[in-house]
Amino acid sequence: MITRYSLTAEAASLTGRFQVDPTEAYAAYYNAAPTHLLPVLMQDGSKGFSFFYWGAPPSMANQKPLGERLINTRAETVADKVSLRKKLKAHRCAIPADGFFAWKKIGRRSAIPYRFTIPDSPLFLIAGIWEEYEDENDVMYHTFSMITTRANDSVAEYSERMPAILRLHDETKWLHTSLESEWMEALKTNPKPMAHYAVSSLINNPMRNDKRIIQAVPPADQFGNLTLFD
């Protein structure tokens, strides 16, 4: 499961890369985590970001089955389920990012967090699906689920899964085409080589959001114990 990513670029960089106005609500997300309100691009052709909750809004975070189901959606599941493929017709979105995090297990209770980036693509888009939910007070919330694929060669040693990072030629297809075959093609594992480095266990706290989260550190597990693994 992928439960963290980053989007740390300045607003001007987002405008140049995605041709959108980030609005004053945009801020750097060093530690984007489930239940956070985060920017997404919608398939309707909007010229700016929409801000949706990842997985579930904070008020629904304790509803574990709901939250866990909505954080990630496997690309393989989308391909196998007719109901999900139908949902893609009107519920596609794309998640802007400049990195994602995965934990390499080194023991039954130990794991090292790593950040993955694409050296020649400082900013990229991850495929997603969005939903609408009402709480018990009839308040409407918009949420999104990140689509994941099997890990590519750069990530496989560290995690079985990775985000469904859209190739440049698939971004427009994902957001604007009406052909199901092109959506499904866009969800294939992106083979582009990725760079990675160990980061601090500070990332385990979803309330932390500062530059220290994305700084390289000697590999250490979530208890702060240094390891020889890299």
CATH of the domain at 16: 3.90.1680.10
Query: Which run of H or of E encompasses 198?
Result: strand 195-198
What are the start-end ranges of the E strands in 90-188?
Answer: 92-97, 99-105, 111-117, 124-134, 140-150, 161-163
The whole-model pTM stands at 0.91
Q: Any residues with CB less than 8 A from the CB of 204 and at least 6 apart, and which?
A: 113, 222
- State how many domains the chain has: 1
Q: Is residue 137 a part of any domain in this protein?
A: yes
Q: Is residue 224 a part of any domain in this protein?
A: no
Domain residues for the domain of 140 are: 5-214
193-225: per-residue pLDDT in tens?
Answer: 999 999 999 999 999 999 999 999 987 655 556
Q: Is residue 22 a part of any domain in this protein?
A: yes
Q: Is residue 72 a part of any domain in this protein?
A: yes
Q: Is residue 143 a part of any domain in this protein?
A: yes
Q: Any residues with CB less than 8 A from the CB of 198 and at least 6 apart, and which?
A: 112, 113, 114, 216, 217, 218, 219, 220, 230
74-133: per-residue pLDDT in tens?
Answer: 999 887 888 888 888 889 999 999 999 999 988 777 889 999 999 999 999 999 999 887
User: Do 229 and 104 contact (CB within 8 A), yes or no?
Assistant: yes
Distance CA 169, CA 173 (A): 8
pLDDT at residue 67 above 50?
Answer: no
